[in-house]
Structure formats: structure tokens, C-alpha cells
Amino acid sequence: MDREVHTTSLKVRFYELDPYDHVNHTNYFAYFETARIEYLNEMGWALDVLKERGWQLVVVDISARFLAAARYGEELTIHTWVEDAGRVKSTWRQTMLRGDEEVARVTLTAAFTDLEGRPRRLPPEFAEHMERLRRS
């Protein structure tokens, strides 16, 4: 890939399983969110930093595809990247792997807002970071 991709690894815990002994689908969203937050932290945009600057990054649309069941104790790897960034919204993609097997994938749209939830243009520093990624 010619874009920056963040990688997060996690291990499935027993309390995340459903009665069928695989990860309940709702927990996949928590896994993906954890990976996005770690990526933001790596970029210097931790949630507390955003809040101090008067910003929020909120999910406005999300689509998931579940391809295989994850089970207790398995190590999962999540790759996260920003596909596109506009004036207010950005498109994020994530894929979850167990070894080489794709388990799930997500595409989501996130928007920058102020702390009252009103849409705002991407902070200049975030837009510059995205532009640098596009050029690299």
C-alpha cells in the first residue's frame, strides 16, 4: 500500500463470546474503535488532545462485513488507514485478520465537530497530515 497503515493487535477474551462460542458481532465494533483511537494517538490526535482543542471526531456512518468467526484466545490484527479526507468528513477503512485470514472489515465516515456537535472543517494540522500521507 502507498498509504500509512496503523496496526493494532489484540487477543479475544472469554467474556466477548456469544452463546455460540465466537466473538459477538457487537464486540468487533469495539475492537475497530480501539484500533482507530490508537491510530489517532499515534498521529498526535489523542481524544484528550482533540477535546482540549475544542474538537470531536464522530462516526456518522459505518458499514461492516463479517467474514469468519473469531474465538477465545485468538490473536487478531487490525489494519487501519484513512482512505480520504475532505473538508469536514474523512473515510476510514479497517481490516481484521487472524494470521492471513480476513475476519472482518469496516468502512466508516467520521466528521469533525466542535464540542457541541456542530460540523467543523478539519483542523489545519489534521488536514496537513492527511495531505502529507497522500503525497508520500
Strands of 75-85's sheet in order across:
6-11, 75-85, 89-98, 101-114, 55-66
Q: State the pairing for strand pair 101-114/89-98.
A: antiparallel
- Encode pLDDT of 73-107 as tens digits: 999 999 999 998 888 999 999 999 999 999 999 99
Q: Give the whole-angstrom CA distance, residue 113 versus residue 99.
A: 37
pLDDT higher than 60, residue 1:
no
DSSP assigned state of 92: E
| Type of residue at 55 | W
Give the Cα-Cα-Cα angle 74, 64, 84 (nearest 5 degrees): 110
CB count in 10 Å sphere of residue 117? 10
Confirm whether pTM is higher than 0.85.
yes
- Encode pLDDT of 7-60 as tens digits: 999 999 999 999 999 999 999 999 999 999 999 999 888 999 999 999 999 999
